[in-house]
Structure 1
Amino acid sequence: MAKRLDHILVVDLESTCWQGAPPRGEEGEIIEIGVCLVDVTTWERRDKRSILVRPERSRVSDFCTSLTTLTQAQVDTGCSFAEACAVLRKELKSEDRLWASYGDYDRRMVERQCSARGLRYPFGPSHLNVKSLLAVSLGLQREVGLDEALRLIGLPLEGTHHRGHDDAWNIAAVLGATLGAARKGLPV
């Protein structure tokens, strides 16, 4: 099938985390996949979603809850990681679309977790690193965090930072502003 160039699938992950090293026998794993489609004609954001993922090899720490607002009880109602990958492929056509994230953490985390679980990678080969794109577009000397990126282009942080669906929504805004300005030949 030909690559779909109608939307860019913006993804942001949240994973189990601890203030220090993980407890013995636990590892960081995906607990939320936030997604947002960006229309490449209008740069409008669409279909903001949160796919909660039930962890198999770790528990949500108090630190993780304080950062993401996600609790163990919430993620316990989520689907398996395999089911989440199937949702990405079937409902969002993730294998056929250009997908984007803010940095490479999300791409590497999905690759690592798929490899560890023996699952097919749910995305196609085309990944766009919005963090690098913005830094290059603005001529910055270094990449900046999402909150700083929004400030630099004059957009508000919407929702809760470190919630996957809200961060995907905000990343999509940065992506749309950056590519929209590039298409017009204007600075961001």
Structure 2
Amino acid sequence: MAKRLDHVLVIDIESTCWDGGTPPRGEANDIIEIGLTPLELSSGRRLEKRSILVRPERSKVSPFCTQLTTLTQEQVDGGILFKDACKILETEYLSQERLWASFGDYDRRQFDKQCRDEGVRYPFGPSHLNVKTLCSIAKGLPTEVGLPQALALYGLKLEGTHHRGHDDAWNIAALLAEFLKRTRN
């Protein structure tokens, strides 16, 4: 299957999390939001800002998680199953055929792990672009920086709420668009 290079699917997930990082006994990190912004490569336009809320099945949203993401247990209880969210990516966004990008490697690893754990088909093709690494090496930085710092390095402002998937995907797409614009000139 030929890879479509019309859009890059910029994804940012939020997962259940706890102060200190380790899930309580018997719980596992669950994706609770898939933020998505398709970036049209020919124009550099961000086409959509979408939030897909996912109902966690192996854990609960902690107070720490709500403080970080603003997402509550009640909100994600109204979400869809993880397997159904993956199906949306495949059918509505042709995620198996398109390059997808995230800021760092956490999103790719979490998708891979949760798909394996739940027996769900991985919704993406083999190509993933790590925007965090790309932008850091392009700037000659000795280490990677966080999203707010990366946006500032490229003269961009953080829009929306940091650590909300749809807002972060929107910002990552802006960063990638700016990077590509500078590369093409």
Secondary structure of the residue aligned to 1:45 is: coil
Specify the alignment match of 1:5 in structure 2: 5
Specify the alignment match of 1:22 in structure 2: 23
Specify the alignment match of 1:108 in structure 2: 109
Distance in 1 (CA, whole Å) between partners of 2:4 and 2:174 is 20
Specify the alignment match of 2:68 in structure 1: 67
1:8-53 deviations in Å (ceiling 9; x for gaps): 0000000000002222211111000000010101111111100000
Distance in 1 (CA, whole Å) between partners of 2:24 and 2:113 is 19
Secondary structure of the residue aligned to 1:12 is: strand
Q: CA deviation at 1:2?
A: 1.9
Question: What amino acid is the match of 1:48?
Answer: K
Specify the alignment match of 2:41 in structure 1: 40
Q: CA deviation at 1:128?
A: 0.4
Distance in 2 (CA, whole Å) between partners of 1:23 and 1:139 is 39
1:77-131 deviations in Å (ceiling 9; x for gaps): 0000000000000001100000000011000000000000011100000100000
Secondary structure of the residue aligned to 1:46 is: coil
Q: CA deviation at 1:179?
A: 1.1
Specify the alignment match of 1:94 in structure 2: 95
Q: 1:134 aligned to 2:141?
A: no
Q: CA deviation at 1:75?
A: 0.3
Distance in 1 (CA, whole Å) between partners of 2:120 and 2:102 is 20
Distance in 2 (CA, whole Å) between partners of 1:115 and 1:23 is 21
Question: What amino acid is the match of 2:150?
Answer: A
Structure 1 vs Structure 2 CA RMSD: 0.7
Question: What amino acid is the match of 2:110?
Answer: M
How many aligned positions are there? 184
Secondary structure of the residue aligned to 2:48 is: strand
Q: CA deviation at 1:66?
A: 0.3
Q: Percent identity?
A: 64
> Following superposition, which runs of at least 4 residues in structure 1 exceed 4 angstroms of deviation?
none
Instruction: Give unpaired runs (5+ residues) of structure 2.
Output: none
Q: 1:174 aligned to 2:175?
A: yes
Question: What amino acid is the match of 2:102?
Answer: S
Distance in 1 (CA, whole Å) between partners of 2:151 and 2:136 is 12
1:140-163 deviations in Å (ceiling 9; x for gaps): 111100000011111110000000
Q: 1:84 aligned to 2:85?
A: yes
Distance in 1 (CA, whole Å) between partners of 2:29 and 2:36 is 20
